[in-house]
Amino acid sequence: MHTVTVFFRSILSTLLDPLLMFHLCWSTLLGILVGVLPGLTATLGVAILTTLTFGFPSEIAIPMLLCVYIGAIYGGSRTAIVLNIPGTPANAATTVDGFPLARSGMAGFALNVATIMSGIGSIIGAIFIVSLAPALGAIALKFGSWEFAVLAIFGTVIAGSLTAPKDPLKGWIAGFLGLMISMIGLDEIVSFPRYTFGNLQLYGGISLLPVLVGVYGIPEILTSLKRVTKPEVVMDFSKDKRKLSYAETIKKNAFNLIRSGIIGVFIGVIPGVGEDVAAWVAYDVAKRTSKEPEKFGQGSIEGLTAAETANNACVGGAIIPVLTLAVPGSAPAAVLLAAMWIHGIRAGPLLPLQHPEMIGYVAGAFVVATILMVVFGLLVTRLFLKILLVPTEVLMPIIFVLCVVGTYVLNGRLFDVWVMLLFGLLGYFMRLNEFPAAPFVLGFILGPMADTNLRRALMLTKGNLAPFFTRPISLVLIVAMVLVITSKYFPKRRGEKRE
């Protein structure tokens, strides 16, 4: 009840605070712009803004980052519909029906439907933040070192499995590489230097934001600069062949909306999976249950609704484990978690005790950001599409400069810039060889949790591993992890042997 009260109070106080509303307005526009630009991602947008909000109070900085996150996931639908190129990976499923709708003369209608469905999906996500996060937080209070150690490894394994469907082994390799790299520096228990090779710069470990900007930013820049073909752009919004009622569209797709929103939320809760998986799963379910499956891929409103509702609802789902477990549900949520640490908010099981108002406050800011997203989406995003006329060879160097400046500003260390460039090359190599970045980043974030809790658990039991298998939550996580590995990897290998 307290969370619900704070939720509505947060919405009201935000709407009545002119300074906060100003910051939220331009942050939402910035997020939409990041989404509109192919080659940028919500992760990169939130990471760059995080480096620039270091001097802001947390009650302004966190809502600003939420606005960028929500705006970017939505903004990618613009180019997915008119350009057939998803502005962010979360909008890949939108291209399947969005672009055919645009080519059939319904570009304006498709853009507005995507805006409305995205707004409804975000509201569903906010509702689940208020209702699900306190319950999950209560469960998290029962976690000990054993559960947190297994949870960190489980999150890395399942993220690797779901983000690399063609070869889960590549996802697991990326995840455990992230776990290993996170060990660099002084360990958190006895402060013993590990993998520093005598370099004093490495004693403090490797900062998260340079890694994120490098792994997500540099590969996108290089990939965009390599693209030589100019895609077809549908920018004529004046020739819709038929006028359709948005209210009728919502009514006709009401069940699809609710189902896709719930799918998005619960996939968002899974560590490290993200909005792109949520959109594809919801799209697949909608196609399988549709009365007109033949229209999917040809300009189906059902398909567009499922994809855009799910990816925006997933944002709310991804924030739930951030608040309750300090485990990000997606890559942008990982940056949001880092930003909360920077601003002195220790997310995790103790958050409801130390900051009882935070869950309601975040959900309230989430709703305000959604309102701004819908308003700007209906009024000004078509104007934003004009930026697509800017040549890539002009735009990408500007983005690169922002990456460098944002990385340097955070700690004022040139070393962080070199780290960003090094991980940028690593990320580009991973992309070329189809190693997913999400499990790598999640492994890097969860590494300290796995390391510290595993060693603490072994110290408490004097090296006895039995509690990992006798404590119910730990055992359930271990069994689930084994099932994920065996179901994804061994059947494939047996099939290869038969062939």
What integer pLDDT is reported at residue 386 of this predicted model? 66
Tokens standing for 77?
Answer: 């639908």
DSSP 8-state class, residue 185: E
Cα–Cα distance, 392 to 385 (Å, whole number): 14
**Would you say the C-alpha torsion 15, 19, 20, 21 has a positive or negative sign?**
positive
User: Mind listing the pLDDT tens digit of every residue in the chain (499 residues)?
Assistant: 556 676 667 777 777 778 888 888 999 988 988 888 766 778 888 887 887 777 788 888 888 899 999 999 988 888 888 877 777 778 888 888 888 888 777 777 888 888 999 999 999 998 888 888 877 777 777 778 888 888 888 878 877 776 776 778 888 888 889 888 888 888 877 778 888 888 888 888 888 778 877 887 788 778 777 765 555 555 555 555 455 677 888 888 889 889 999 999 988 888 767 788 888 888 888 888 888 888 888 888 888 898 899 999 999 888 888 888 888 878 788 888 888 888 888 887 777 777 777 777 888 888 888 999 999 888 876 676 666 666 767 777 877 887 787 778 767 788 888 988 999 899 899 888 888 887 888 788 888 888 888 888 888 888 888 888 888 888 888 888 888 778 765 555 444 554 4
Best CA proximity match to 443, nearest among 310, 331, 316: 331
The torsion angles phi and psi of 227, rounded to 5 degrees, stand at -70, 120
Cα–Cα distance, 64 to 32 (Å, whole number): 13
Residues 146, 181, 489, CA angle at the centre, nearest 5°? 70
H or E element at residue 194? strand 193-194
Cα–Cα distance, 367 to 120 (Å, whole number): 10
Helix axes 208-226, 437-460, angle to 10 degrees: 160
| Coil, helix or strand at residue 312 | helix
Place of tokens 């209608």: 109
Helix axes 42-52, 331-342, angle to 10 degrees: 10
Cα–Cα distance, 488 to 470 (Å, whole number): 26
Residues 184, 188, 189, CA angle at the centre, nearest 5°? 130
Tokens standing for 395?
Answer: 């735009």
Whole-structure pTM value: 0.79
Cα–Cα distance, 316 to 406 (Å, whole number): 26
> In terms of C-beta distances under 8 Å and separation of at least 24 residues, what long-range contacts does 336-340 make, across chains too?
336/46, 336/62, 336/65, 336/66, 336/69, 337/445, 338/50, 338/208, 338/209, 338/212, 338/445, 339/46, 339/50, 339/53, 339/61, 339/62, 339/65, 340/58, 340/62
| Coil, helix or strand at residue 17 | coil
Write down the domain spans for the chain. Answer: 2-168+245-413
